[in-house]
Structure 1
Amino acid sequence: MNWIAAAGITLATFAFMEFWAWFMHKYVQHGPLWFLHRSHHVRHPHPVERNDLFFLFYGALSAVLFMTGDNGGRWWFWVGVGIAAYGAVYFFVHDVLIHGRLRFWKKSRHPYLRALNMAHKMHHKTTGRDGSVEFGLLWVSPKYLQMALKQQKSKDLKVKADAAESNK
């Protein structure tokens, strides 16, 4: 398979995974599989939660696509790459940055990442299966992006004012 087709399949799969994650989160994880996802909405002292089974499922699916994809010769190998890439981004953004499951990445000051964090906090305002909002990962509602940009601008103005005050 040529590299353009491989890259196209990978990128299309990655983009589709954002829609798929939103759909599964809203209608399946907050629906019939709430008994697994509930562990993610309640505080607990454990490093792993039942909700992590979803990660294992998609990791296994991606691995099967890799193993049967003729080392890149079959189109589904590149679907596996797209799923794996989305899973890696999901892990770092959701588990590491937003939830701090690994402590090597501090909270970001970047407005987009702050907006994602705000939207996710709104999602976790409810501990029940109903009433949640904001089910996506990488797509963020414009209102949270505007709030994050406003916060950043306010902080920048404060820093400039403090610098001007200290120069007097």
Structure 2
Amino acid sequence: MNILLYILITLATFSLMELVTWLTHKYVMHGFLWILHADHHQPKYPHVFEKNDTFFIIFATPSILLFYFGAIPELNFMFFIGLGIFFYGLTYFLIHDVLIHQRFKWFKNTKNKFLIGLRKAHKVHHKHLGKEKGECFGMLFVPEKYHNK
């Protein structure tokens, strides 16, 4: 397999992860696994970690398995699917936990309109403290109206 195909597999997986994230967030996190996600919607959660952080482990597991099985006996397409999932997870951490929720104060004063739009959309998502009536379930692709406010 050539390097261009590996890059395309990684980029396609990264892109598809936004759809997976949206569906999982709406139907799993705000559905039958609300018990793990509910504390994330509570103001001023008093602990460093939330039950919601369990989802990092849940989402990392397929990536780890794909890395493993994609490297044995030699590098194959599964490794690059795992890489796309990993890059999406890293991006999710930087956008969601660092930029939006400020769990780490690394990008506190951004002036970037795209990033500000992501913050606004997520704030709208969090205005609902319960699992019903949610909106803006994605992370990177939010309605244009949030970038223009």
* Category of TM-score, reference length = shorter chain: over 0.9
Map of 1:55-74 to 2, 5 A cutoff?
55-70=56-71, 73-74=75-76
Gaps of at least 5 residues in structure 2 are: none
Q: Match for residue 99 of structure 1?
A: 101
Distance 1:104 1:141 in 2: 25
Unaligned stretches of 5+ in structure 1?
148-168
- Greater RCO, CA 8 A, separation 6+: 2
Q: Tell me how far apart the structure 1 counterparts of residues 114 and 95 of structure 2 sit (CA, whole Å).
A: 11
Q: Report runs of 4+ in structure 1 exceeding 2 Å deviation.
A: none
In the TM superposition, 1:67-86 aligns within 5 A as 67-70=68-71, 73-86=75-88
**Residues 38 and 129 in structure 1, CA contact (< 8 A), matched pair in contact too:** yes
Residue 39 of structure 1: aligned partner? 39
> In the alignment, which residue of structure 1 is the partner of 2:53?
52
Q: Equivalent residue for 2:90?
A: 88
Bigger Rg, which one: 1
1:20 alignment partner in structure 2:
20
RMSD, matched Cα:
1.2
Deviations 1:37-95 (A, max 9, x none): 10110131111111111111121221111111126621111000000000000000000
What CA distance in whole angstroms lies between the structure 2 residues aligned with 1:110 and 1:95?
17
- Identity, in percent, stands at 44
Q: CA deviation at 1:105?
A: 1.9
> Which stretch of the first structure deviates more once superposed, 32-41 or 99-108?
99-108
2:111 equivalent in structure 1: 109
Q: Which amino acid aligns with 1:65?
A: L
1:124 aligns with 126
Aligned residues: 147
